[in-house]
Structures are given as C-alpha cells and as structure tokens.
Amino acid sequence: MSERFLSSDEYDEQAHQLYNEGRYDDALDILKEGAALYPQAAELQVGMAYAYLAREEYAWARRCFEAALALDVNHEDALAGYGEVLLKLGDVAGALSAYERIVELGFQDDHELMLQLGRALFRQGLVGHAHRFFGLVVSNHPDSAEAAACVGYASHRMGRDPIALYWMRRALELDPQYSEARIYLANILYDRGESEAALHHLGLTQPEEHYDELGLWRYLELKRALYRLPEDDPELRPWTQRLREIAGEPDPIDVLLAEVEAHQPDGSTRDPTQLELFSAMVADLPGMEKRRANHGGSHLVATLAGHLFDGSWDEILLLMRDADVEWAGASLREFMAGQARRGQTETGIVIPVTDAEAFIRGSAEAGVLRIIQ
C-alpha cells in the first residue's frame, strides 16, 4: 500500500512543532515539501516566511509573506510578519500600513497579536507606536500582567517615569511572581536614586531569574552598601555565583566603575531617599481623557488593583479606603498613613498625608496609583 500524503494542515502542524524547538532548517524542509503539494495553502507560505525571519533571511521572508498575502490578502499572521520584515528592511511606513490593516480587520482585541506588533515596533526603537499597540492590549485585556508591563517598558523609554512605575506595579499586582517586571521596576527605582526601594524589589527575586548582569550587580552593590556586608558574605554567594554564570569572572574595571556609581560626586554614599525631578507632566494612555487644567471639580483615579474611583479628592480617598478590606473601620488619617508607609517601602518616596489631594497626587508621582482626570 502506498504511503498516505499528509494534509496541508498536518505539514503546517509538524513544521510548527519543529519551529518551536528552534529547528528552523527542518521546519523549512517540511514546509517546502508541503508547499510543493499544496501551492494554494497560505498557511504554509506564512510558516516558511516566519522560519526565514527567524534565520534573519529577510528577503526570503518578505517573498514568502507576499506570496501568502497574494493567496489571502487579509491573513492577519501574514500581515503581522510582513510588517516585521518591512521594519527590518527600514520600510517603517509600509510596516505601519500592514499593522493598521490588522486593526481595521478587527483584531485589536487579539492579545497575542497586538503584543507581537508592539514588541516588533519596540525592538526597532519605534516606542511611541509600540506604546499605542500595548495600550490596545490593556484596554481589551485589563487583567493581563504582560500587557501592563509592556506599557510600563514603553512609558519608561518615553521618559514618563511616573506612568512607567504605575504600570510596572500594576503588572506585579496582577502577577506577583512576574520577575521580569520586578527586575525592570527595580532598575527604574535604582536610576531614580531610590536605593532602598530598588533593593526591596531585587530582594524579592531569585538569582536564577536574572538573565543579564545589571540587576545582579546592583543587588550586590546595594546589599553591601546598605547593610555593610563583606564581599564574601554567605548571603551574597548565590548572587555572585549567578553573576559568574552570566558574565564570567568580574573585570576589575567594572568593579571599580560600580563602586564609583554607588557614590555621589563629593564621595558620599548615594542617599537612599534621593528623589529625581521631573521636567513635565506625563501624557495619558490612548483612550483615556487628559487631566483637566484646573484642579477643582471631579477627578478619576485608577488603583493598582484596577479599581476606578471618581469624585472630589475627599470622595475618592473615602472610596479607596472603603474598597480596601484591610482598612475597614480605620479612619481616613490611619488609611493614608498606612498606605504612605507601604508606598515608601516600595518606592523610597515620601507620600504626604496632609490632605486627600496631596496624598493622591503624591501616590501618583510614586507610581502607586494613576490620576486619569
């Protein structure tokens, strides 16, 4: 009996498995065999295109994506990959046109697809455009920690640190085990001079969760500086071991530079409570209203837990307290003091508790809530 031919879907499935294993050459062999038998199967052309893209053979990838789109002009995966190839080749306008076509087709609520588009733009340095697609994801999937973190990454790259802090903490509120977001947050805090807060978050990660040197170096630096630990302290050994695994033995010059970075220009140790100044107020995410020019009237605030509260500053403070079961029965003054202590532990920023407006605005600057309006 002759051997049965595989269907186009079976070719695609086999190739997809090989692709996920990083066996791009084998995946291409399967896909080419399938495409010879099923020349009208757009999925096989798309599969070949992504395999070529993974091998950084952009001309071949573009050719296959165009072949797929000739078969199915509205194929969303082909449009997404085609846009990514065009970005690699420097055709930003063409890439954005392909991405806008995906949105026009109604895929703006596709979680993975929108993240794919945003990440492709982010990698090419088109952070503003990436921010828009990440914003579409959080609008349609408000409980996605991954999407919240991506908005945080883009906001930070755009120089919007308070918004970045909010979204990074929102991601951790949704998924406390999200180590990538926690490490990124710690690095933002470190760069702002919030040493104790940075150490707090780095200390909540494990050495094996770090895949680059920066967070490891900073943890070791802060731990030694703030707790006056010797370099061979047993508590630091897992961190130095992980650092060696990633970077090899430390370069003496790198060690010297790390020590210099830990001190002020006058030779004193970096102040753990030092605050950075911000030159401008930040813009809001797409779809959200901008803050009103005047400070009176009604306001809208988003908490890390995803709750929205509107009203006057005093009304919002009351609603925030009532929504937090931990503070049921406490006075507003006690609630503000407790939240301010927690915020200072995590951010290093002193949040004022003189009145509702000062508390809410201070909490927003620390990134522990968001003033939308």
Q: Residue 155: is it exposed, middle or buried by C-beta count within 10 angstroms (0-12/13-18/19+)?
A: buried
Predicted local confidence at residue 371, as pLDDT: 87
Q: DSSP 3-state assignment of 208?
A: helix
Predicted local confidence at residue 150, as pLDDT: 96
Q: Residue 329: is it exposed, middle or buried by C-beta count within 10 angstroms (0-12/13-18/19+)?
A: exposed
Which among 110, 39, 38, 52 is positioned nearest to 81, based on CA atoms? 52
Q: How many CB atoms lie within 10 A of CB 227?
A: 11
Predicted local confidence at residue 53, as pLDDT: 93
What's the CATH number of domain 8-107, 3.40.1350.10, 1.10.760.10, 1.25.40.10, 1.50.10.150?
1.25.40.10
Predicted local confidence at residue 153, as pLDDT: 95
Count of residues making up the chain: 373
Q: Assess contact for 66 and 82: CB atoms under 8 A.
A: yes
Q: DSSP 3-state assignment of 373?
A: coil
Q: DSSP 3-state assignment of 366?
A: helix
Q: Phi and psi for 102 in degrees, rounded to 5?
A: -60, -45
Predicted local confidence at residue 254, as pLDDT: 53
Predicted local confidence at residue 272, as pLDDT: 37
DSSP 112-132: HHHHHHHHHHHHTT-HHHHHH
123's tokens: 């990698």
Predicted local confidence at residue 308, as pLDDT: 84
Q: Assess contact for 164 and 156: CB atoms under 8 A.
A: yes
Kindly give the residue spans of alpha helices, DSSP state H, lying in the chain.
8-20, 24-37, 42-54, 58-71, 76-88, 92-104, 111-123, 127-140, 145-157, 161-174, 179-191, 195-202, 213-227, 237-247, 252-261, 313-323, 332-347, 356-366
Q: DSSP 3-state assignment of 300?
A: strand
Q: Residue 369 pairs with which residues in a beta bridge?
A: 303
Q: Where are the domains of the chain?
A: 8-107, 181-261, 299-371
Amino acid found at 315 = E
17 vs 23: CA distance, rounded Å: 9
Predicted local confidence at residue 324, as pLDDT: 83
140 vs 128: CA distance, rounded Å: 19
Weakly modelled stretches of the chain, pLDDT under 70? 1-4, 248-297
38 vs 70: CA distance, rounded Å: 15
Predicted local confidence at residue 261, as pLDDT: 54
Q: Residue 311 pairs with which residues in a beta bridge?
A: 299
